[in-house]
Structures are given as C-alpha cells and as structure tokens.
Structure 1
Amino acid sequence: MKKILLIVSVLAISLTACNKNDDDGITGNPNIPNAVFDTQGLINTNLPQFNQMQFPGNYVVLNSNYGVNGVVVYYSGSNQYSAFELSDPNHQLISCSKLTVDGVFATCSCDDGNTYNIVTGSPGQGVNGQYGLTRYFVEVNGNIVRVYNN
C-alpha cells in the first residue's frame, strides 16, 4: 500500500510541476513574455511594402503590434522564412533592450551592445547570456507569409 501511495504522489507532483502557462512562455526565457499574435494576411509578397520578401536575403520589421517589441521576418529563399522577437533575450524589458536590425544582425542599444543573427537567432560573439532570439512560427501559403505565436 505504501508503494502505491508513493507512486501516486510522485505522479501527481510530476503532472503539476510543469505548467504550459508559465510566465516565461514557451521559450523558458524569463526576460521575454509570451506574446500572442497573428499577422493573418498582413504579409502579402505581391504588395509593394513586402515585395522585397520575394528575394532571398531580405527582411521586414513588423512594429510592436506583433510580438513584444516587434518582429523581424527574414527570407532565406526556397520558401524558407525565419521570424524572431526584437527584444534582447538576455536583458529584462527596458528601453535599450529593443533590437534594431542592420543587415543580418539585430543589436540592442544597452551598454553591452548584444548582437544576434536574424537568420538563425543565435547570439553573436561576446554576448553575455544563455539565450538566443525568441523564434516565432511561420507559415507560407502562396504569396501570404503568416507569422504567429499562440
């Protein structure tokens, strides 16, 4: 009987220890809250403002209505897109932790100047911290590129 009680107790603790709605979202990063958004139909590569997304090596930045501080969407070619949060994952959310994009790098304006690759999300050389950029989901249907997190 004691064995069964022990097994049930361990099982109950295991099931309640992990919560999908933890404050640090799906990334496990306590610095980036889980932003729920969907660009549904916004990014149409036939429209002039998104036309550059038909050509590999280009990106668009979406404002802070998407993500926490905005989202960068990069096109690698062959219908391969990546989308990342524009908040430095190794800083708490403060004004200097918003990333700006130049080429394939996103950089914060804090004193450490952390830099991240917008193609892979990986931190640049010398970044202090354990986190890469927060990745968002991308779905392509013809000319429409959907970026979302829900």
Structure 2
Amino acid sequence: MKKYFFLLSILFLLGCDKEAFQNNNPYLPNYPVNLNINLSLPQYSILQFPGNALYIDSSGQGILGIIVFNTGNGYVAYDAACPNQALSSCSTMTLSGIDAICPCDDTRYSLFSGQAQGMEYPMKRYRVEQLDAISLRVYN
C-alpha cells in the first residue's frame, strides 16, 4: 500500500507546474506570444529600472499588445486588453505608474499582481524569461 501511495505522490508532484497561469477568461482569446526584448535599445531601456512599465504595441503579439513591468525582483508581462470587458475600441489599457487602467470602466489593475479590487478576472499574464542581463523573452 505504501508503494502505491508513493507512486501516486510522485505522479502528483511531477504534474505540477509552478509557472502555470490560469488564463481562462471568456473575454480574452488565447493568441500566441513570443517577444524578445533587448533592454539596451533606447525604446526598452526604461525597463532596466524597478517600478517602470512599458506598453509594447507589437503586431501579432498578444491581443492588444504587451505590458512589461520591472517589479524590482524580476519582470512580469501582461496583455494590454482589459480582462473584464468584451473587446471593443476602449479595451487597450493605459499605464499610470504601477497600475494599468482600463479606459472602458476606469478600473485600476496592479502591475505587481495583475489584480483589481472587486473584479472577477485578473490581467492576462505571460511568462517572462530573463535570458541575460539585457535580454528578456515574453512568451506563452
């Protein structure tokens, strides 16, 4: 019996992925993202400093572009589409310090967590891999 318990425990532990994001949102489709960012280029250099965020409007990346944020302990990336609204002309979020604001309803989302108080869905998060001191890869 201990043998079966041990095997089940191993399978359970191997099945867990610490980087799994719950991006099940009925408002936001799953579009592919594979974006390389060179932090030494002038348009991305602001991301070298903690507390700074940048909206990247790169065609074919995410739904309405990508927001990348330097938390001070690493980087996080989110889709720029409002997560609690159907896609419309006002769905592209804007940056305000450490928050992203949905212009459809003026909801403020924290860039540290992607959450907004009282809202059902958080911002759609993407994985970020720091390749070296000046290179990031944002992907899903």
Identity %: 38
Report the 3-state secondary structure (helix = DSSP H, G, I; strand = E; otherwise coil) of the residue aligned with 2:29. Answer: coil
- 2:129·2:137 contact (CA, 8 Å) conserved in 1? yes
The CA RMSD over aligned residues, in Å, is 1.5
CA distance in structure 1 between the partners assigned to 2:102 and 2:47 by the alignment: 24
DSSP-derived class of the 1:95 partner: coil
Q: Give, in angstroms, the shift of residue 64 of structure 1.
A: 4.8
Aligned equivalent of 1:54: 48
- Per the alignment, residue 148 of structure 1 pairs with 139
Q: 2:77 aligns with which of 83, 86, 96?
A: 83
What corresponds to 2:25 in structure 1? 29
How many positions carry a matched residue from both structures?
A: 117
Find the counterpart in structure 1 of residue 99 from structure 2: 105
Q: Deviations over 1:27-66 (max 9, x none)?
A: 11110000102113xx111122212222111121110522
Runs (5+) with no aligned partner, structure 1: 1-25
Unaligned runs of 5+ in 2: 1-21
Distance 2:97 2:45 in 1: 17
Query: What is the rounded CA distance, in whole Å, between the counterparts of 2:48 and 2:103 in structure 1?
Result: 30
1:71 alignment counterpart: 66
Which structure is higher in helix share?
1
CA contact (8 A) 2:84 2:121 kept: yes
Which of these two proteins has the greater Rg computed from alpha carbons? 1
- Which aligned runs of 4 or more in structure 1 are off by greater than 2 angstroms? none
2:53–2:95 contact (8 Å) kept in structure 1: no
Counterpart Cα distance in 1 of 2:50 and 2:138: 18
Aligned pair partner of 2:114 in 121, 126, 130: 121
